[in-house]
Amino acid sequence: MSQNLDRQKHGNSEVPVEDLFLRRWSPRAFAETPIDTDTLKAIFSAGQWAASSFNEQPWRFVLGRKGDPVWQRIFESLAPANQSWTKLAPVLFASFAKKTFGPNNAANRVAQHDVGAASAQISLEATACGLHTHGMAGFDPEKLVRSFSVPNDFEAVARWALGHRGNPETLNEQQKQMELSPRNHKALAEIVFGDWGSPAF
């Protein structure tokens, strides 16, 4: 089942790209197996080296491991639909964006974009380590900001689960159907334009 699902979820690119990109996907079924500290440090180091506007590096991450109070606070900020499947994830983390540039306190309108870039690199490094991530928008940002006393200059961006892929049988029927369905991504012609609406390739 495990190998079959990996093959089914493997992306099919129109042109050759690094296999790492095609192997990355976002499961909901996670195994409770803990992730060691060295692996976590490598994964977040990949995010550390993402590109950012003026090298501001506006990303901050709060990391919780199952069983500790940080994991629990992140979990409690999630929407019930996300709590239903993240309950087994060994690692939950939250991403935040610094809303202003450090030198002049000017608004950084691309802060969330840059946090997304760092998060993508984290996800790809996790894939390279044989793990998976799943990002979530379904959460209460104010609840977690209050819970961790996050400074006013930062905003909550996303929540993430990280770990080894688990058994889809732990999911409810709707989640299980999504877990076992093939992946679909838009074609290049739908996302890369030469002029607006006209494919570049």
Query: What are the extents of the domains in the chain?
Result: 26-182
- Residue 4's pLDDT band, with cuts at 50, 70 and 90, is confident
pLDDT of residue 109: 98
Which residues, including other chains, have CB under 8 Å from residue 72's CB and lie 6 or more apart? 64
Tokens encoding 27: 């499961």
Per-residue model confidence as pLDDT tens digits over 109-160: 999 999 999 999 999 999 999 999 999 999 999 999 999 999 999 999 999 9
C-alpha–C-alpha distance, residues 165 and 179, integer Å: 11
Which residues, including other chains, have CB under 8 Å from residue 152's CB and lie 6 or more apart? none
- State the burial class of residue 22 (Cβ atoms within 10 Å of its Cβ: 0-12, 13-18, 19+): middle
- Residue 2's pLDDT band, with cuts at 50, 70 and 90, is low
CATH 3.40.109.10 for domain 26-182: yes
pLDDT of 19 strictly over 90: yes
CB 191 within 8 A of CB 199: no
pLDDT of residue 1: 54
For the chain, the average pLDDT equals 96
Q: Over the Cα atoms of the chain, what is R_g?
A: 18
Per-residue model confidence as pLDDT tens digits over 36-50: 999 999 999 999 999
**Parallel, antiparallel, or unpaired: how do β-strands 198-199 and 154-163 relate?**
unpaired
CB 26 within 8 A of CB 133: yes
Angle, CA 74 vertex, CA 23 and CA 118 arms, to 5°: 45
C-alpha–C-alpha distance, residues 152 and 100, integer Å: 11
Tokens encoding 6: 């990996």
